[in-house]
Every structure is written in C-alpha cells, then in structure tokens.
Chain A
Amino acid sequence: MSKRILIIDDDLAVRDTLIAILEDRGYEVMTAVNGQQGLAVFRSERPDLLVTDIVMPVKEGLQTIREIRAERPDMKIIAISGGSRTERHDFLEIARQLGAWDVVVKPFDAEDFVARVDRCFAA
C-alpha cells in the first residue's frame, strides 16, 4: 500500500504541483486549504506524512504543526514556505524547532523535493 501524504497549502497552483510530482512518484495525496481543514483531514485520514505551508489564512502552519505534534508526536512533517510577508522571522527555522522533519523553500526543484520525501519515509 502506498504511503499517504497530506498537503496543506492555500495556493491552488502549489497544491496541484505537489499532487503532480508526488502522485508521479506513486504516493497517495490528499489536500487541505488551511490549517483548520488540514487538522480535520489529518484526524479522519491518518496520513503518513504532512507537507504544510506556513503563511495561510484561517489557521497558519506553525500552529497547525504544534497541534498535530501534540496529537501525534512521531508525525513526520515537511514545512514549505515562500517566505513571510514581513521577512522579520525565519518561519521555516521556527517550524524546524517545533519538530518539522525537514523544511523546503519555495520555489523548489521537483526532483529535490521528491528526494526529501523519499528520505523521510526511509528514515
């Protein structure tokens, strides 16, 4: 059975891109448009890996990571970000401190991203 990955990102183009490159690799992908919806999908679908954006409306990514880690401390998470709107904080660094397995800066190279996901499951 293929590994299941939950993608949380408010940007449709990013979600579609991640679906394309991860399904291409044989992963099963589900999506949510913000942290709140993402938590609901996480609870109902029990994915193996979470790929979450940071800057999102309704519930942002850092809080989402906190809540998911509280529910499942061993949950593998990859945080992705195109930078903050103010550039005063390095959100990805904070995500790493909150327990994200890996962090990726947008825009990213498809092969590199898939390699990181593969490594995540191999670990």
Chain B
Amino acid sequence: MPIPVAQIPTPAVVLDGKGLVYAANDAMAGCLGVARQELIGTEFAGWADDRDAMRDFLRRAGGRQQEFDFRTRNGNRRAIAISIGSSDARNGGLLLGFDTTALRECERRYCAMFEVASDWFWETDGALRLSHLSPNFETAMGMPGRALLGKRRDEVADTTEDADRWRVHLAMLAARRPFRDFVCRQAGSDGRRRWLKSSGVPMFDAEGGFTGYQGATTDVTAYLEAEAAADHKRRSLEAELQHAQKLEALGALAGGIAHDLNNTLVPVIALAKITVDKLPEHSRERRNLATILEAGARARDLVRQILAFTRKEAPTRTTVELSGLVRSSLKLLRASIPSTIHIDEAIAEVPPVRGDPGQIHQIMINLVVNAAQAIGEAPGKIAIELATAPSDRLDQAQHPWIGPAVRLSVQDSGCGMDEATIKHIFEPFFTTKAVGDGTGLGLSVVQGIVAQHGGRIAVESRRGQGTRFDVYLPALSREEARQLDMSGAAA
C-alpha cells in the first residue's frame, strides 16, 4: 500500500531502495524551495550539505534522528532534523523531517548574547547544588566554574554579614519561588569580595517535579562602589553646604553684634586708658584698671576676628614672595614664643603666589601660635618649612589646580590630637583650649584664607606625637607674576 505522504503535515519523503525520492509532500518541497515534482527521482542525500553523512545515516537506518543542513534552491540554508519513519530504510521507506532552522537561529542568537553579556548563567540540581556555570563566570571571578560545581550557592557565597537576607532568600528557594536581583557577596580568585546580583527561576519536569533552578548572575561591584563614591561625594557636598550656611548665619550674627559691641567697648578701652595714667604707679587701682584694659582689648580682638572670619569682601591680591614674608612673620613671632621652644627654619626660595600678604601673615601667626600652645611650657620644637610642592604629590592629593604649588609646613612636637579632635578643628568656635586662651576661630580663619587663595590645608597628628599642618598654595610662574604686577601697576 503506497504511503499517503501528501497527507502528512510535516515535511516527508519516501525513498526507494537506492535512496532516490519516490514520493514527497509539499511541506518537504517547500522546505527545500523546489516544486514537489523536481524532487522525484533525485537522490535525497544529494540535497543535503553533507551528502556522505546523510548516506551513512540512511545506510545505518538505526539512528533515531539526525539534523542535516540543506541548501535550498534560492541559496538559503535550512536545518532539518530527519527521522526514519519506516523500519526498512535500506529498501526504501519514509523519512520525516522537522524544520529546525528557526530553532538554530534562536540558539545562535542566544549564544551570541551570552558571549557579549558580562553576566554568567547557572543551573542547579534539585538539591540546589550548582550543576552548570557558563564560561563568563571564570572571566568575571577569575576561577574556573568547575571549582564550584556540586556546591550550593549559599556555600560559596559569603553569608556571614548578610545572614538575615540569606535566610529570607533560602526560604524563597525552599518554596521554589522565582527571585530577582538578590545581591550577595562572594570572593573572587584574588580573595577580593565582589558584590553579585542574581536572578533565577525554578525548573520543573513534565510531571511538575522540581528539578532545580536556572538563572543569571552579574558582578555589580564596580557599580556599587561608584554609587558609594557618589554617595560619599554627595555627603561631603552636603557637609560643605551646611558649613557654608553655618558661616552665613554666623556672619549675619557677627555683623549684628559687632557694631553694638564695638560701641560698648569704646568707654571700656578709652576711659580705662586715660584713667590708668592718672593713678599712682604700683597702686591696686592702677592694676585693676590695667586688667580691665586687657580684657577690653581681648574683647576687641575677638570681635575683629569674628568679623574677619565672616567678611565677604574679596581680599587684596598681589604677588607675594613667600620666603621673605615667612621670615619676617617669624621674626615678629619669636618674641611671643617661649624661649623653651626651639624654632627650626627651612625656608627655600619658592615661586611667588598671588594673594593677600596680610592674610598669609595671619596663617603664619595662627599656625605658629597654635603650635606653641600645643607644646606648652615644656621644651619643644617648631619646624617651619617652605618648599616647592612636588607635582606628583599634588596629583595624588587631587589639588583643584594644575601646576606648581608651594607648601608651607608648620610642625610641632606638642601634645598632638586624636582623630575625633582632628575632625572638628576647622569648625568655627571649636577649641581644645581653656576659656580665654582661644576663640576657636584660628584654624577656621586659616582654612578660609587658604580656600580664598585657591589652596588646600592638610593636617597630620597623633596624640602625644605632635601635629603637622601643610598649607599648599598655587604658585605663579615668573611670567604670570610679571603680568600681574604690570596689571596692578596700570590699575
């Protein structure tokens, strides 16, 4: 009885004992892009790309199914899985085809995607042990995937710090529920812990039995680190803003009270002065008035310092030769530094800076006086150094300018500070000194001046081991200094 090949819905041909097409349906002809009649009498293996493999397949006739590539009449390729539908293919029989071209294309596309994706894909068995890891795992983590096969995900990850999240995650796995974007930590081959983000779905067999999970994981360490850095930056900007707002509020307050306080101090200072000169020398009254005068002067200086600290006007800008300025500042300062303190000078000739000489003098005063107070009455040393700052150090310190810089360092052998203190030293009104000994504005003033000059201040200190302040100021080239002087002269 002839096989009713035309009625078979899938591609089908009937071969004779020599492998020639005896009958074919339209579906097979359509696959190959020819008319049905054109197939009749041709060797079927001749339509396949690998004719010998097809002949071999037909001769063996024992194979259940094999996929072959066919070239169609218009030059396209088609993949057709051929199975032998009759038990006696050697003497002719029915071949059934299944067009797998779309499947192949799909596979090729996914393989390409897997290759370009930085994610890796994995599968587990029913006991949640890893049974497959795609090659990207090795690329990302620097270790072969086989090292992890047979282990559960919670055995290879670092679960100690995220115990609670893992508990929830494992409960989801036990409930065979899909999960998305579960983030955990896992060490790479270099020992460095990476942040991994995984999503997975449970797999079930035809009977609904759980067979494991399959999913994808990606290394999000760089992303999280960048986010943390951005977060840090945002926090520091917020802190800066808060600092600026504090200063503005202080400025408004200072402006408000300074005027009235200065008026109040007029009689204290002026009348005490004219009266003190009229009192007998060595009298108690004269000593008392002298104390009032000193207190008045201290109050006056405090008001001036607050005003200087909060003042908005731009300082003067001229070319400043720092070596000369630092030497003359030191000359003045020596008188007020106890003789038990030795001052070491290492003042190099450095490029000029653009700035306000009075303000830079103020930096010297505040830093050196602080250094002396940190040493106290015990013998000690203050080292003052002026040098050109090495450019490689500038880059590492991320200075806001590009180019040369000068460094003014003041280092003392005093009591030093702990980290908690260092955090606050530039805040206005923060002081470690006794009431009356410090206003808590000295370092705030220094920081403000340094910032106005486009510079930066760094501090190094340890309790009991002294303190070192490094002030970096942007240097001018000789040409810039010359131009600045000329423009200044013209103005």
Contact = CB atoms under 8 A, between A and B. Distances in A.
Interface of A: 11, 13-14, 16-17, 20-21, 24, 55, 82-88, 90, 105-111, 113
A122 B218 CA distance: 88
B266 A13 contact: yes
Contacts of B264: 13
B262 A82 contact: yes
A20 B267 CA distance: 10
B259 A108 contact: no
Contacts of B261: 82
B255 A21 contact: no
A55 B260 CA distance: 10
Contact of B312 (A82, A83, A87): A87
Interface centre among B266, B267, B296, B307 (most CB of A within 10 A): B266
A118 B330 CA distance: 36
A83 B273 contact: no
Chain A at the B interface: SS class: loop
B270 A83 contact: no
Interface in B263-285: 263-271, 273-274
Q: Ordered nearest first, which 4 A-B pairs have the shortest CB separation? A: A82-B262, A107-B265, A87-B255, A110-B270
B259 A109 contact: no
Contact of A108 (B270, B307, B310): B270
Contacts of B259: 55, 82-85
Nearest to A88: B312
Nearest to B265: A107
Given A17-B271, A87-B307, 9 more contacts: A11-B266, A14-B263, A17-B267, A20-B271, A106-B262, A107-B269, A108-B270, A109-B273, A111-B274
Contacts of A14: 263, 266-267
B258 A108 contact: no
B268 A87 contact: no
A30 B147 CA distance: 100
A82 B258 contact: yes
Interface centre among B251, B265, B267 (most CB of A within 10 A): B267
A55 B256 CA distance: 12
A83 B266 CA distance: 13
A21 B277 CA distance: 12
A16 B267 contact: yes
B254 interface: yes
Contacts of B268: 107
